[in-house]
């Protein structure tokens, strides 16, 4: 077993399973995707620390536990089409690609999207479709989605994403309320949405029509 593979196994056991991630499909996916492929070369020695890491453009690759928690909350079984808002490094998209049939991932930063495309192609990931644009508006042409994961903090669930969520689907999004960020799951039941709070979190702001303005 390579050094990276051994550290990935330790991450799954010590950072994820030990901290309440129980979905075996999620644990297996996290154990398979090489996080080091999605961080800058100078930071690869820190690929499996339990924290976010900078990837350029004032963006970060999320802490492994956060990625796993989001994926677990989406409750994927395999055949779903998933929308991801905020491609970032592409790491979460690679994990989602092992959990769902199709992943549509939208990133507003063209350079980050290009970098993610290279990383995903290098791993042979074929079921992730990358788009550049305002992720807070989703992708109405491909909707509805069984699940939506947002990797940026919003003032509430973006209306366009709620509209594009399939009945029975789940939207996981960091929500800023009274100065605090909480990772929240919204579960659609027809016209009704139920809400469950997962944990405190810290993300960059969701910039766009359904998020925050460019200058706050």
**113-142 residues labelled b (16+ CB within 10 A) or e (exposed):** bebbbebbeeeebeebebbeebbbbbbeee
At 196 the pLDDT is: 96
Domain annotation covers residue 215 = no
As a whole number, mean pLDDT of residues 118-142 equals 97
Rounded Cα–Cα distance for residues 49 and 27 (Å):
16
Domain annotation covers residue 213 = no
pTM score, whole prediction: 0.95
Domain annotation covers residue 210 = no
Percentage with pLDDT > 70 across the chain: 99
Check whether the bond before 177 is cis (ω within 30° of 0): no
As a whole number, mean pLDDT of residues 194-202 equals 95
Percentage with pLDDT > 90 across the chain: 94
Q: Which domain holds residue 186?
A: 3-200
- What domain count does the chain have? 1
Residue 215 banded pLDDT, cuts 50, 70, 90: low
**Which of 2, 51, 62, 92 is flagged as catalytic?**
62
CATH number for the domain that contains residue 44: 3.40.50.150
153-174 pLDDT per residue, tens? 999 999 999 999 999 999 999 9
Domain annotation covers residue 205 = no
Is 2 one of the annotated active-site residues of the chain? no
Residue 186 banded pLDDT, cuts 50, 70, 90: very high
Residue 209 banded pLDDT, cuts 50, 70, 90: very high
At 56 the pLDDT is: 85
Decide if pLDDT at 216 tops 60: no
Domain annotation covers residue 216 = no
Angle at 113 between CA 134 and CA 136, to 5 degrees: 20
Domain annotation covers residue 129 = yes
Domain annotation covers residue 131 = yes
Nearest CA to 205 out of 162, 154, 164, 159 is that of 154
37-76 pLDDT per residue, tens? 999 999 999 999 989 999 987 889 999 999 999 999 999 9
Domain annotation covers residue 45 = yes
95-113 pLDDT per residue, tens? 999 999 999 999 999 999 9
At 179 the pLDDT is: 84
At 2 the pLDDT is: 74
Decide if pLDDT at 1 tops 60: no
At 177 the pLDDT is: 87
How many Cα neighbours within 13 Å face the side chain of 139? 23
């Amino acid at each position: 077993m390579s050094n990276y593979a051994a550290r990935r196994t330790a991450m799954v056991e010590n950072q994820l399973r030990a901290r309440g991630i129980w979905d075996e499909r999620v644990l297996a996916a996290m154990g398979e995707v090489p996080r080091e492929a999605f961080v800058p070369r100078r930071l690869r020695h820190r690929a499996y620390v339990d924290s976010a890491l900078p990837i350029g453009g004032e963006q970060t690759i999320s802490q492994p536990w956060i990625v796993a928690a989001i994926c677990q909350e989406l409750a994927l079984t395999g055949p779903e089409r998933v929308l991801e808002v905020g491609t970032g490094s592409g790491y979460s998209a690679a994990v989602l690609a092992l959990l769902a049939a199709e992943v549509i991932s939208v990133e507003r930063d063209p350079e980050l999207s290009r970098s993610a495309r290279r990383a995903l192609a290098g791993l042979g990931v074929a079921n992730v479709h990358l788009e550049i644009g305002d992720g807070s508006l989703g992708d109405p042409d491909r909707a509805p989605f069984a699940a939506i994961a947002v990797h940026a903090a919003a003032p509430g669930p973006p209306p366009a994403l709620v509209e594009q969520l399939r009945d029975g689907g789940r939207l996981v999004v960091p929500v800023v309320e009274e100065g605090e960020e909480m990772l929240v799951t919204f579960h659609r039941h027809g016209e009704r949405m139920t809400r469950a709070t997962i944990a405190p979190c810290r993300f960059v702001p969701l910039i766009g029509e359904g998020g925050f303005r460019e200058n706050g």
